[in-house]
Amino acid sequence: MLRTMLAGLFLLAGLNACSSDPSPNQKPQAQTRPAFRALAFYNMHMEPDHVSFAVYALNYFGRLAREKNFTFDSTQDWSQLNSDNLRNYQVVVWLDDQPRAPAQRNAFVRFMENGGAWLGFHVAGYNDRNTHWPWFVQFMGGAVFNRNNWPPMPAKLTVDTHDHPVTHRLPDSFIAPTNEWYQWLPSPRQSKDVRVLVTLDPSNYPLGKKDLLTDGDTPVVWTNTRYRMVYMNQGHIYHVFESPIQNQMYDDAIMWLGTGK
């Protein structure tokens, strides 16, 4: 745990240094207006595999932001999820946690209901009877966490449609790197508002050793079409970034959320 935290802090320190102290040889990118501004929330005190995902994600999206000319800020301070601050951003990202304070939740609802965009990963979308946030359950397309495989494993995913900016570059199916896969009950596919983009292929069943996914519908990536949002179940441990194919989906998702293209 300590080692993970230290590695994370080291990486974060590196990121901060990169973003605030460009070398003299770098082009002065500040003169170019960023395509959009994203703010990522994370929590270093979560399950270590979720923290390791968050740390790699900060690194990954930080690099992508420099490449694609958008702003990618990050914070562990969830009180920054307030309407005043969110006015500065078009996209909110939750890497490994979600807000619990009513004021933060309400600010997020206002943001989303007024055209803001959200990208949520893995445990950020988790909800059960203790979550006490009905709005969020409908936002997730009615999906309530039901079960998962354990240990984390790679899995074959099928792409439901290529007719969407998030999936248009993906093949019909691909092997996704190690992840803990969640199954939801009801499946978000039951919602008329949800468009499922990627699904766990049934050929994976039974998936797991200690905990098994044995059957059923397991959407992995979807959007609730009433909002500008994408949920991705990927996000358990840093291996999630080891597939160049799957990485295209992350790239296209944040660009679509930020620019509409």
Nearer to Zn ion, 90 or 246 (CB): 246
Nearer to Zn ion, 180 or 252 (CB): 180
The structure tokens listed for 107 are 């600010």
Smallest distance from the beta carbon of 106 to Zn ion, in angstroms? Answer: 27
Nearer to Zn ion, 50 or 164 (CB): 50
Residue with the shortest CB distance to Zn ion = 236
Nearer to Zn ion, 66 or 147 (CB): 147
Calculate the CA 77 to chain-centre distance. 18
Q: Are 88 and 67 in contact (CB under 8 A)?
A: no
Chain residues in the site for Zn ion (CB under 5 A): 180, 236
48 conformational bin, left if phi > 0, alpha if psi -120 to 50, beta if neither: alpha
Q: Is 238 helix (H, G, I), strand (E, B) or coil?
A: helix
Smallest distance from the beta carbon of 174 to Zn ion, in angstroms? Answer: 20
Smallest distance from the beta carbon of 96 to Zn ion, in angstroms? Answer: 9
Nearer to Zn ion, 189 or 239 (CB): 239
Nearer to Zn ion, 36 or 250 (CB): 250
Cβ-defined contacts of 169-172 (< 8 Å, 24+): 169/248, 169/249, 169/252, 170/198, 170/245, 170/248, 170/249, 171/245
Residue 106 contacts by C-beta under 8 Å, 6 or more apart in sequence? none
Smallest distance from the beta carbon of 189 to Zn ion, in angstroms? Answer: 22
Smallest distance from the beta carbon of 74 to Zn ion, in angstroms? Answer: 20
Smallest distance from the beta carbon of 51 to Zn ion, in angstroms? Answer: 11
The structure tokens listed for 258 are 């930020």
Q: Side chain identity at 101, as an amino acid letter?
A: A
Which strands make up the sheet holding 91-94, listed edge to edge?
71-75, 37-41, 91-94, 117-121, 228-232, 219-224, 194-200, 153-159, 173-179
Q: Are 257 and 70 in contact (CB under 8 A)?
A: no
